[in-house]
Chains A and B, each alone.
Chain A
């Protein structure tokens, strides 16, 4: 069953097409990753899916309701959380939850029960009088997520929820997301951190308003990236980097501490050539391995590192 069905969704601002005829489906209870560089049209798409912005053409159904025809019903059935906008720092924890519960029309008994649940998942039981602004980042983030789903929506949109959050808090946060999705909530998430996209069941990538890749993390790595990536440890890191930068068959180079990574076109994919070039230039290879590309490698490959800077 699909929670979200997007068909030919388009948004124009004057002559500028921000979202250009995109179509995709999100299954119920899956964790769905929505990726793209800044300015690719991510926020515009999310706003349309949340019923805040009217599409220029095309439509999407979110939780069974059309965002074009019935945006009010869409709004009632979703939760939304972003790093930038969520809780009121100058309100106490309990007051924030009262506010969010009120916005979503929760009644007394129900509100009480749901507040209890949010306090539990945020590790804030018995601390509802604390000032929200004084909470550590990780706790605040869990509270914000709890507030976004206080009305038990079927779908929750998370817009860069972990930006600037430390690794331990991030891991706890993803555990919470997994828990929500295992209880049937559909999670629609954007992130700049591609290692997090590995947690998603399915992913789409958009660029300049167009959908350019889709699939699960494994498919993205095997179907879209044709280059091989080697990790090379040598006696001269900088010299090796400079040497490979100059080679036509090398698409991309980067330093990783005492190693370099080079991305090589498939047809040239041979160790003999790499070894020969190093030997001719007086560089001794200590170790060379072919490594599994990351989603970031795929992403950079698809978007091209030059044109967007």
Chain B
């Protein structure tokens, strides 16, 4: 079985708003799949439907070769879900929280699995601490551990790293790598495009629709424009000059600007001339590969 999740013509509306508007795609077993999009794109609704928490209006979902509508309970035994606002019991210890989730999932013999999970999340030294006394990063790891106690085959993560500091975030990604090694399929949503680069494949979602789906490398190839990075000073004058005198998209960084152009060869000379005329000193210029964020913004503008 290669397609562990198969979604066909899925729709869901709230009032007049089409939260999920006729989407179809599949997720391969063992991959990390990223659903990326702005707020209100329909990411959370999609994940909730896939986890069997919300009913779709029409369309079908097959998970682990079973129809979600008909075999919901059975599918739910095999999936884990970490929501944006995960719920832990603050007055229970780390161990007790895990025990609680084990009981919900009807896992009888959980102590070995619990030790394993505490080991690889490095929460073992804190197992007797109450959840409310953990740092934000540790709470998030504990919530992840709780969602893994029943050994799910698929893990759904809804914006798991929002508000988490970089050190804890890097730690979190290490744990996810371990899960991939063990063969677990990971389906995550994120508004952060640098995180999407870590996925095997990404789907860009906007206004309820999937507007692109491929590996990060191939999605980047969808942008037919070029990005020129110009290291210059004063960078602010450079930014304003481009903004006022051209219709080009420009972004300012601490010591450089990025300008998006259709054709590097024909457009760069006039950009350089314009900057020089406005007393901007150009130290260096080069073509840089687009980031997923560049492509994303480009595709969304095209879609509108």
- Chain A residues near B (Cβ < 8 Å): 31, 37-39, 136-138, 160, 163-169, 171, 178, 181-182, 192-195, 198-202, 216-218, 238, 241-242, 254-258, 294, 296, 299-300, 303, 305, 308-309
Contact of B191 among A38, A165, A303 (CB under 8 A): A165
Chain A residues near B224: list those with CB within 8 A. none
Number of A-B contacts defined by CB within 8 Å = 131
**0/1 interface trace, chain B 143-178, chain A, CB 8 Å (1 if under):** 000000000000000010011111111110110010
Contact of B198 among A164, A199, A242, A255 (CB under 8 A): A255
A167 touches B297 (CB 8 A): yes
Chain A residues near B169: list those with CB within 8 A. 192
Does chain A have a CB within 8 A of B197? yes
Contact of A166 among B37, B174, B199 (CB under 8 A): B37
Does chain A have a CB within 8 A of B52? no
Does chain A have a CB within 8 A of B86? no
A178 touches B252 (CB 8 A): yes
B181 touches A182 (CB 8 A): no
Given known A-B contacts A37-B168, A167-B191, A195-B194, A218 and B255 have beta carbons under 8 A apart: yes
B137 touches A167 (CB 8 A): no
Q: B17 to chain A: closest CB distance in Å? A: 13
Chain B residues near A31: list those with CB within 8 A. 254
**0/1 interface trace, chain B 265-304, chain A, CB 8 Å (1 if under):** 0000000000000000000000000000100110010000
CB neighbors of A among B236-270 (8 A): 236, 239-240, 251-255
Given known A-B contacts A167-B38, A167-B191, A309-B137, A201 and B254 have beta carbons under 8 A apart: yes
Chain A residues near B198: list those with CB within 8 A. 254-257
A166 touches B137 (CB 8 A): no
Closest residue of chain B to A238 (Cβ to Cβ) is B181
Q: B93 to chain A: closest CB distance in Å? A: 18
Chain A residues near B215: list those with CB within 8 A. 257-258
Closest residue of chain B to A192 (Cβ to Cβ) is B165
Contact of A255 among B39, B170, B177, B216 (CB under 8 A): B177
A199 touches B296 (CB 8 A): no
Chain A residues near B240: list those with CB within 8 A. 182
Given known A-B contacts A171-B297, A309-B122, A254 and B174 have beta carbons under 8 A apart: yes
Does chain A have a CB within 8 A of B40? yes
Q: B279 to chain A: closest CB distance in Å? A: 16
CB neighbors of A among B210-249 (8 A): 215-217, 236, 239-240
Chain B residues near A181: list those with CB within 8 A. 236
Closest residue of chain B to A241 (Cβ to Cβ) is B177
A167 touches B193 (CB 8 A): yes
A169 touches B194 (CB 8 A): no
CA A238 – CA B184 in complex, angstroms? 12
A199 touches B253 (CB 8 A): yes
CA A39 – CA B165 in complex, angstroms? 10
**0/1 interface trace, chain B 186-213, chain A, CB 8 Å (1 if under):** 0000011110011111000000000000
Chain B residues near A160: list those with CB within 8 A. 163
CA A160 – CA B136 in complex, angstroms? 15
Q: B119 to chain A: closest CB distance in Å? A: 13
CA A164 – CA B296 in complex, angstroms? 17
Contact of A39 among B135, B170, B236 (CB under 8 A): B135
Can you spell out 11 A-B residue pairs with CB atoms less than 8 angstroms apart? A37-B167, A171-B297, A178-B252, A181-B236, A198-B253, A199-B253, A241-B177, A254-B174, A255-B32, A303-B167, A309-B122
B137 touches A257 (CB 8 A): no
CA A257 – CA B64 in complex, angstroms? 22
Contact of B252 among A166, A199, A238, A305 (CB under 8 A): A199
Chain B residues near A309: list those with CB within 8 A. 122, 137-138, 141, 167-168, 171
Closest residue of chain A to B169 (Cβ to Cβ) is A192
Contact of A192 among B164, B180, B217 (CB under 8 A): B164
Chain A residues near B297: list those with CB within 8 A. 167-168, 171
CA A241 – CA B181 in complex, angstroms? 9
Contact of B166 among A136, A194, A217 (CB under 8 A): A194
Chain B residues near A38: list those with CB within 8 A. 135-137, 165, 168
**0/1 interface trace, chain B 29-54, chain A, CB 8 Å (1 if under):** 00010000111110000000000000
CA A254 – CA B178 in complex, angstroms? 10
Contact of B199 among A136, A138, A192, A257 (CB under 8 A): A257
A255 touches B165 (CB 8 A): no
CA A44 – CA B201 in complex, angstroms? 41
CA A192 – CA B166 in complex, angstroms? 6
A137 touches B39 (CB 8 A): yes
A169 touches B38 (CB 8 A): yes
| Other A-B pairs, 17, CB within 8 Å; known A192-B164, A193-B194, A217-B255 | A38-B168, A160-B163, A164-B159, A164-B162, A164-B163, A165-B39, A167-B191, A167-B296, A168-B38, A171-B297, A192-B165, A201-B255, A216-B254, A216-B255, A254-B173, A305-B170, A308-B168
Given known A-B contacts A138-B39, A167-B293, A257-B200, A198 and B236 have beta carbons under 8 A apart: no
CA A257 – CA B38 in complex, angstroms? 21
